[in-house]
Structure 1
């Protein structure tokens, strides 16, 4: 008998249509929609200092916003330029921010996770990459290579086999490659041309140089995609044998992201074709031996992500699924997000004002939110569902000193309908997410989101992507 990890999703067209609604991806709870300007740099400073009492390990993130070309599908905060002189002053200001934050944090707190994101981190020259690496190592205390996960997002078009070797020497032990689709027609439509052959060389260089883990990102729902041509991409990915695979749903929101206006609605796959692409992808990856973590992530059975989920330790933060929980996350650079204690906060998204705030001697925090007791309880519930595909109300009650069955009495009633549709199975103490529910896990979490009704009522434009 197959375990839930090995079972493929059940694709019922009427069920998919029923649950195809807009909803958060829950990289945080509350979501960024709830951030306000009442949370400023002074409050961030106070909470950073307070966080030392916990002696929690650290997770660090830096946002490198530069890209030399625009990918039309991209929803990231980015600066499109071919002028490489922009990056040096940006690093000057990141160092100012880093120095300021490091002065607030006990020097012996250990960094167990690091991630460079963007934009395109490999827009930086090798010398600038070394400079940023040395900045981190100067201001923070890093765990060893075997203890920590130190990752960087890679645009295969911007690196060589030598630069991959350089990244390993800098201390990175995990690579994340953006691929999206190998089909030339799709690549032209989204303005991202990269051949399979060149990408294969770079990924192989990652393994040759001893990186602990390699992940790749794909996107389904892009213009001109169909089952037949995307299957060729999936087969090539399986042949490359990455440790982790993310298969993201393209959210077409041109009113929010200017570059997406270059993508015409008429060229997008129909909802039925898009669903068929996803069904094919999940089936092929599971048949190839990957574990369906849930939502849009897959991992090899021996990968830390799959192993942590198996024992209930998987976690989720602004960097997505993570094998490191109980960390304070400090983000550096424009638009980056921090999670310190029971708070979330975000830096200024605009480069010039990000610089101005640092020139004024203050941190660039411009908005955020502090979690109430109810937020903390619901965050734990949503994290448990998103990561470990189950919930034990008795355990939640014991952790927070509440009668969880009474506290979530209304939500428990809503779960009955989800159980009737086969998304989960109710147990004596809670529920377990079933294979169809792994695909629609956002919908299950939405039951516990106290902010969602208000967001849906007050927001005229699309705020979230569709759950599937």
Structure 2
């Protein structure tokens, strides 16, 4: 599964017709535990953003143009020697996975890779002119789609293009990762990837249950994943990550427990367990999934509790909404030091703040703006044929946006908010600036999901499933998004 920068599935509670930010009243004090949990599920099972960015992609506008991006890049990318991050989106897949919500093109025509690579060359050349030549690329991520749709020669050519135009790092601390559909690679493929400089692999596992795999049209055996994992260790990749999903059709807590046992036995370094967002009106492939086969919100909460229980019992550390890592992992250490960050690629160790997105639909993230490439492949090609950067829309961040983004980042990454640090960084009086938001947090505190202790807001373990809801308190755009349709938070 990809964590790639595509437009985010969207958010409100259609049942109430409002943004339904969070609880509207405290939970009953005398309810028994199971009833109270059921009440919380009902209360917090609303629609809401995933907060891969703030403001979310819903706020991106066509008034943000290529000229806007160039102006922003001149200030943010051209100056200085700070590290920079690159993301390359490869949209092609050989097979359709019914659950997928990525920007993808399913095709068996291998020639499309050659054409796409030629256009990537054009964009890489144009974009590299805007990046200071001394800025090291400390983070590189290939996502999709299926990046390994490119064959070995094409991947080699792509890395050569990047190395020719950017200052690729050879530091041991660099994070060069690639998303892999296990069905598209061999042991020799992993050897090539290691030789090209990649040191992290992300394997799309999703679920090991055969019935669930059939329902999502993604058949791959445990033996296949085991072989690739062992080969990656043989070649000394820095880490192997598994992407899994809960809430899939025909998935049950019992079947998920078996998948978890297998995952624990294979012992990946990092695990991302995403919540399946069923939006068939937006993603046509999801129409092949019978809605009645999907687990209920109560079952999904049971699954989420099971995931946290089994993985933490196995020694993994729950570092955020959907990520688990081994205690010695760099992400765990970064969180302990209060330096964990999150961008369109997922959680990171904050090696680079500026992110340059390359390829169709990619999003670039600069200090005070986001810019998204054309999502349609033909439009992407046409813009490059005219010698233009294929920027289709974006958003410039106001000071208020930057304040709220920093708050949401702290909550998602540190599972707590330092009010003092926000006041110092932005010279505001928090209780006055966020008086309404603090009232909303008080209601969540009454539900036992967080604590307001002095100048800190601390999210409890019980509140982690509602982390998106907590962040929604600080999202000033939600009332304006009343016609949008984000994915369910639970």
Whose RCO is larger (CA < 8 A, sep 6+)? 2
Does residue 1:233 correspond to 2:279, yes or no? no
Which residue in the other structure is 2:42 paired with? Answer: 17
Does residue 1:342 correspond to 2:368, yes or no? yes
Cα shift at 1:274: 2.4
**Inter-partner Cα distance in structure 2 for 1:93 and 1:214:** 30
Any idea what SS the aligned residue of 1:458 has? Answer: coil
What's the RMSD between the two structures over aligned residues? 1.3
Which residue in the other structure is 2:53 paired with? Answer: 28
Instruction: For 1:56-455, list aligned pairs within 5 A.
Output: 56-324=82-350, 326-455=352-481
* Residues 145 and 171 in structure 1, CA contact (< 8 A), matched pair in contact too: no
Which residue in the other structure is 1:4 paired with? Answer: none
* Residues 64 and 394 in structure 2, CA contact (< 8 A), matched pair in contact too: yes
Q: Which moved more, 1:18-27 or 1:320-329?
A: 320-329
Cα shift at 1:407: 1.0
Deviations 1:373-398 (A, max 9, x none): 10011111110111001112121111
Cα shift at 1:208: 0.8
Does residue 1:46 correspond to 2:68, yes or no? no
Cα shift at 1:278: 2.0
**Inter-partner Cα distance in structure 1 for 2:255 and 2:441:** 38
* Residues 181 and 218 in structure 1, CA contact (< 8 A), matched pair in contact too: yes
Give 5+ residue unaligned stretches, structure 2: 1-33
**Inter-partner Cα distance in structure 1 for 2:167 and 2:80:** 16
* Residues 90 and 147 in structure 2, CA contact (< 8 A), matched pair in contact too: yes
**Inter-partner Cα distance in structure 1 for 2:429 and 2:241:** 41
* Residues 393 and 405 in structure 1, CA contact (< 8 A), matched pair in contact too: no
**Inter-partner Cα distance in structure 1 for 2:224 and 2:278:** 29
* Residues 181 and 233 in structure 1, CA contact (< 8 A), matched pair in contact too: yes
* Residues 242 and 270 in structure 2, CA contact (< 8 A), matched pair in contact too: yes
**Inter-partner Cα distance in structure 1 for 2:39 and 2:66:** 48
Deviations 1:192-240 (A, max 9, x none): 1101101110111111101111110111111111112121111111011
Cα shift at 1:307: 1.0
**Inter-partner Cα distance in structure 1 for 2:351 and 2:189:** 31
Deviations 1:343-388 (A, max 9, x none): 0010001111100000001000000000001001111111011100
Deviations 1:144-189 (A, max 9, x none): 2412100000000000011111100000000001000111111111
Cα shift at 1:439: 2.0
Which residue in the other structure is 2:30 paired with? Answer: none
Cα shift at 1:325: 5.3
**Inter-partner Cα distance in structure 1 for 2:223 and 2:171:** 30
**Inter-partner Cα distance in structure 1 for 2:430 and 2:292:** 48
* Residues 141 and 178 in structure 2, CA contact (< 8 A), matched pair in contact too: yes
Any idea what SS the aligned residue of 2:319 has? Answer: strand
**Inter-partner Cα distance in structure 2 for 1:307 and 1:17:** 35
Cα shift at 1:43: 1.1
Any idea what SS the aligned residue of 1:193 has? Answer: coil
**Inter-partner Cα distance in structure 1 for 2:352 and 2:151:** 34
* Residues 41 and 297 in structure 2, CA contact (< 8 A), matched pair in contact too: no
**Inter-partner Cα distance in structure 2 for 1:326 and 1:120:** 24
Give 5+ residue unaligned stretches, structure 1: 1-9
* Residues 41 and 298 in structure 2, CA contact (< 8 A), matched pair in contact too: no
* Residues 294 and 439 in structure 1, CA contact (< 8 A), matched pair in contact too: no
**Inter-partner Cα distance in structure 2 for 1:209 and 1:293:** 27
* Residues 425 and 432 in structure 1, CA contact (< 8 A), matched pair in contact too: yes
Cα shift at 1:143: 2.0
Question: Normalization by structure 1: what TM-score?
Answer: 0.95
Which residue in the other structure is 2:18 paired with? Answer: none
Question: Normalization by structure 2: what TM-score?
Answer: 0.91
Deviations 1:277-335 (A, max 9, x none): 22222111111011111211111111111111111111111112111255210000000
Which residue in the other structure is 1:458 paired with? Answer: 483
Cα shift at 1:54: 4.5
Cα shift at 1:123: 0.8
**Inter-partner Cα distance in structure 1 for 2:193 and 2:230:** 14
**Inter-partner Cα distance in structure 1 for 2:470 and 2:175:** 30
Cα shift at 1:61: 0.2
Does residue 1:37 correspond to 2:62, yes or no? yes
Runs of 4+ with >3 A deviation: none
